[in-house]
Amino acid sequence: MSRLNLQGVGYHYNGTPVLNNLDLTVGQDEIVCLLGASGCGKTTTLKAIAGLIEVKQGSVSIEGKCVSDKDTFVSPEHRNIGMMFQDYALFPHLSVADNIAFGLSKISKAQKQHRVEEMLELVHLTGCAKRYPHQLSGGQQQRVAIARALAYKPSLLLLDEPFSNIDTQVRFELIADIRRIIKAQQVSAVFVSHSKEEAFAFSDTLAIMHLGKIAQQGTPEQLFAKPATKEVAEFLGQGIYLGAEVLTATEYATTYGVVQSQQEHKHSAIKGLVYIRPHHIELAQNTQADNPQSVSILNRRFIGSAYVYTVLIADQEIEVAAQYGQSFEINEQVIIKIKPHTVNFFES
């Protein structure tokens, strides 16, 4: 049984559709990231799960129990969910221990103290029980927030861009630690972010949102290698489109030569577009005049170990890292070679 299930969820705001027939499944102990551009409906989806808004179409079920549909609405406090906000929402006048214990109203004082001590140990804040939020670093405040959200053992945890206020130098160390904490508690989680890097590091699966619905759900590796739509391909990484003709199950003819796919594909159409990412492209010296596969170097920047070059391919600019030891000048003509890879082909 899945921990969370959304089926055909729709929501309008002032007559404008925000969620459009959205389906989402979160498994037991799974961390799913809702990822997409601003305005795609990520936070609205989180609010629908939490019960902060009432959906007018479709249903929301938690642990097999319907908590929201056209005839049912379970209030947020009865959904057995924990929430962690972007600003942590800690009570400034309460100590760390009292913040963590805030939602533990149905257990004895001794049980409450034991649970607080357990959570402080889990988030590595033993000894900070009597401090106040303003006496903690941003990362420590976030640990208090996660401890409070998990203290009453929710079946589902909701996180709304929780790492956006954390300094870049410690962000990914903290992401790894928060992921460890959630996994240790065997809690399923839905995490909202606009950062691909955070999503890759924190989640088990990604749910890419576009125009109020899930465009594709799967592991980061699956979605990066086999995006179902152009929107998914573009959101997960910069690239360019080249007109292509299918020659065989593994070969595609383009202006820049035949592109070899490392996996076989079946296509109903012969003509379409291939999506080429920067790491699929190799630059080489141009040794012949008027070579149709040559392009001009528009710009270059040094990144410490090599140069990254901006080139114009099929009227689209893209930055390509040179191989170690390669060096090209601005306006120099170079050859474009496309390496064998798992080709993303979109039919016209």
Cβ atoms within 10 Å, residue 106: 8
Question: What's the rounded mean pLDDT across residues 81-96?
Answer: 86
CATH ID of 4-234, from 3.30.930.10, 1.10.630.10, 3.40.50.300, 3.40.50.2300: 3.40.50.300
Number of H helices, E strands in the chain: 8, 20
Per-residue pLDDT for 87 more than 80? no
Pick from 133, 135, 45, 132: nearest CA to 87:
133
Q: Supply the DSSP symbol for 333.
A: E
* Helical residues (DSSP H) of the chain, grouped into ranges: 42-50, 96-101, 109-122, 138-151, 168-184, 196-202, 220-225, 230-235
Per-residue pLDDT for 167 more than 70? yes
Question: What's the rounded mean pLDDT across residues 272-299?
Answer: 89
Query: Comparing 4-234 with 238-347, is the CATH topology the same?
Result: no
Longest dimension (CA), the chain: 84
86 against 119, higher pLDDT: 119
Per-residue pLDDT for 227 more than 90? yes
Cβ atoms within 10 Å, residue 335: 17
pLDDT tier, 192 (very low <50, low <70, confident <90, very high otherwise): very high
Per-residue pLDDT for 163 more than 90? no
- Cα torsion 5, 7, 13, 15 to 10°: value is 180
- Whole-prediction pTM value? 0.86
- Cα–chain center distance at 35: 4
Domain ranges of the chain: 4-234, 238-347
Question: What's the rounded mean pLDDT across residues 9-23?
Answer: 92
Per-residue pLDDT for 88 more than 70? no
pLDDT tier, 41 (very low <50, low <70, confident <90, very high otherwise): very high
Return the CATH class of domain 238-347. Answer: mainly beta
Least confident segment among 169-183, 199-213, 214-228, 329-343 = 169-183
Per-residue pLDDT for 190 more than 90? yes
- Cα–chain center distance at 144: 24
Contact criterion met (CB below 8 Å) for 160 and 149: no
Percent of the chain with pLDDT over 70: 99
Cβ neighbours for 33, distance < 8 A, ≥ 6 positions apart: 190, 191, 192, 193, 198, 199, 202, 203, 205, 206, 207
Q: Which residues pair with 213 in a beta bridge?
A: 210
pLDDT at position 84, please?
85
Pick from 51, 134, 52: nearest CA to 99:
134
pLDDT tier, 37 (very low <50, low <70, confident <90, very high otherwise): confident
Mean of all residue pLDDT scores within the chain: 91
